Every structure is written in structure tokens, then in C-alpha cells.
């Protein structure tokens, strides 16, 4: 099943996730009915608090956050990955609002990592290798500004590293120009609980099999030395 930006699909995904929690043996298929589902957002820590504890924070948007989350959760030195929304004009947005494309938010992941174990440039390498940074506001069949490719930088060092890395990739790797935006990190809103660890909790979900699994396999193959539990 390919994800489409519509209110119906947003509601269906929410219902499917809830059914999976209640009926763990059930296969996630087409949801029945269109109930209004309200989920409590996951709590997020302040990025300032994380950085003061010796950890660092990176925030990437590269299409569906189920994919990006699944990729970075596998990387050694990454302590936590939270799926959420950033870069928009509405406070406390929910999935249905972001799906509409009218809030300006991107689906993104906030990564807390240990810079002594994995560097920001290494995270960027994985980020660019696991999505298409040359398509504007689109990843595969997922289209809209909420699926834009963007690095939300938290400080000047991240900004400069990102500029240099993109310049290098434009010269050496891609035939089409990279359209990844560099945006100053604003308030990050963790997504609803059913989005967190979505691939881990729903590996047989149609979208996961079609879109997430190939990205995870690519990470396993191309970055085997950077994986946890090697």
C-alpha cells in the first residue's frame, strides 16, 4: 500500500496502529470506518538539555518519518530517534494537519547521538544515502512539502558542515542538483505515539514492506560497520 496525503489515509493509519496494539497478531490491512482518533504525543526532551549532557542533536527530514526513524535507530552512537514535525507555522500540529500540507511542517526525526561515537557528517552520509535529495517535495509516491528533504541545523557548525557536504555531493555523486533545504531548527513537536518505532512495531505493514524495508536493507549493506550489535 502506498501512502497518500489525504485525511482518509491519515485516519486509516491511526486506526490501523491502534488495532495492531489491541490485536498484535492481526495483519495491518485496510481500516474499517473513519472514526476520529486522538493520540497523545510522545514527550520530547529539550535539545539544549541533551547538548549540555554531552550528547548532540541532529534533525533530518527525508520523506516519511517511518523510513528515516527505522534507518537511524540502527546506527551505533545514536541514543534515541523521535519522529515528529518541525518547520511549520502551527503550534502542536497533529498528523492529520501535517498530512494536509497546510501547516508548513515537515515529517522529520530528531536524533540524539554521542559525537564521540558517530559524527554529524557520518549521519549526513546515511541521510543522503537513504532518500532522494534531488526530488523537490517528493519521495517516491509521497508528495507535498511535508515530505521535503531538509536538514534542520542546530548551530553554525552543523550549517557549515551541511553546506560543504552538499557541495561535495553535487560535484561527485548526483547528476541532478540536490534540493535539500538547510533550515534553522525551530520547535520540534514529537508525533503521536503510534508513529514512534512504527517499523519496529509494524514490520509487516504494507507500506513498511514496500518502502521501509529496502532502505533498512541498504543501510545494512552499505553501512554494516556503523550498525549496532555488529
> Residue 70, Cα to own-chain centre: how many angstroms?
8
Give the pLDDT score at 9.
44
77 phi, psi to nearest 5 deg: 95, -15
- Residue 52: what pLDDT? 58
- State the Cα–Cα distance between residues 146 and 144, nearest whole angstrom: 5
Say what the pLDDT of residue 160 is.
99
Quote the CA–CA distance of 16 and 31 in Å, as a whole number. Answer: 6
pLDDT tens string 113-151: 999 999 999 999 999 999 999 999 999 999 999 999 999
b/e per residue, 19-43, with b = 16+ CB within 10 A?
A: bbeeeeeeebeebeeeeebeeebbe
- The reported pTM is 0.81
Q: What is the pLDDT along the chain (230 residues), one digit of tens a residue?
A: 445 434 344 444 444 443 333 333 323 322 222 323 334 444 444 555 566 588 999 999 999 999 999 999 999 999 999 999 999 999 999 999 999 999 999 999 999 999 999 999 999 999 999 999 999 999 999 999 999 999 999 999 999 999 999 999 999 999 899 999 999 999 999 999 999 999 999 999 999 999 999 999 999 999 999 999 85
| Alpha-carbon gap, residue 2 to 195, rounded angstroms | 16
The CA–CA distances, whole Å, from 5 to 54, 95, 105 equal 38, 11, 14
Question: Are residues 149 and 133 in contact, defined by beta-carbon separation less than 8 angstroms?
Answer: yes
- Count how many residues are written for the chain: 230
Closest CA to 144 of 4, 34, 18, 46: 4
Could you please report the per-residue DSSP string of 4-33? --SHHHHHHHHHHHHHHHH-TTS---PPPS
User: Structural domains in the chain?
Assistant: 7-223 (3.30.1060.10)
Provide the grid cell at 229: 550489535
- Active-site residues, by number, are 64
According to the model, what pLDDT value does residue 23 have?
31
Would you give the DSSP letter of residue 175? S
Amino acid at each position: 500500500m502506498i501512502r497518500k496525503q489525504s485525511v482518509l489515509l491519515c485516519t486509516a493509519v491511526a486506526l490501523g496502529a491502534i488495532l495492531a496494539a489491541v490485536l498484535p497478531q492481526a495483519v495491518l490491512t485496510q481500516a474499517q470506518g473513519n472514526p476520529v482518533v486522538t493520540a497523545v504525543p510522545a514527550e520530547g526532551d529539550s535539545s539544549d538539555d541533551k547538548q549540555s549532557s554531552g550528547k548532540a542533536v541532529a534533525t533530518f527530514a527525508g520523506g516519511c518519518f517511518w523510513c528515516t526513524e527505522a534507518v537511524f535507530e540502527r546506527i551505533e552512537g545514536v541514543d534515541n530517534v523521535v519522529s515528529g514535525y518541525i518547520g511549520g507555522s502551527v503550534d502542536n500540529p497533529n498528523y492529520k494537519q501535517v498530512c494536509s500540507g497546510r501547516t508548513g511542517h515537515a515529517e522529520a526525526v530528531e536524533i540524539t547521538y554521542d559525537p564521540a561515537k558517530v559524527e554529524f557528517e557520518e549521519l549526513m552520509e546515511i541521510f543522503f544515502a537513504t532518500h532522494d535529495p534531488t526530488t523537490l517535495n517528493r519521495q517516491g509516491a509521497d508528495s507535498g512539502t511535508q515530505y521535503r528533504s531538509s536538514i534542520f541545523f542546530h548551530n553554525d557548525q552543523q550549517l557549515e558542515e551541511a553546506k560543504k557536504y552538499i557541495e561535495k555531493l553535487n560535484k561527485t555523486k548526483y547528476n541532478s542538483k540536490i534540493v535539500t533545504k538547510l533550515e534553522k531548527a525551530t520547535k520540534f513537536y514529537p508525533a503521536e505515539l503510534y508513529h514512534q518505532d512504527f517499523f519496529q512495531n509494524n514490520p509487516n505493514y504494507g507500506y513498511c514492506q514496500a518502502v521501509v524495508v529496502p532502505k533498512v536493507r541498504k543501510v545494512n549493506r552499505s553501512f554494516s560497520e556503523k550498525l549496532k550489535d555488529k
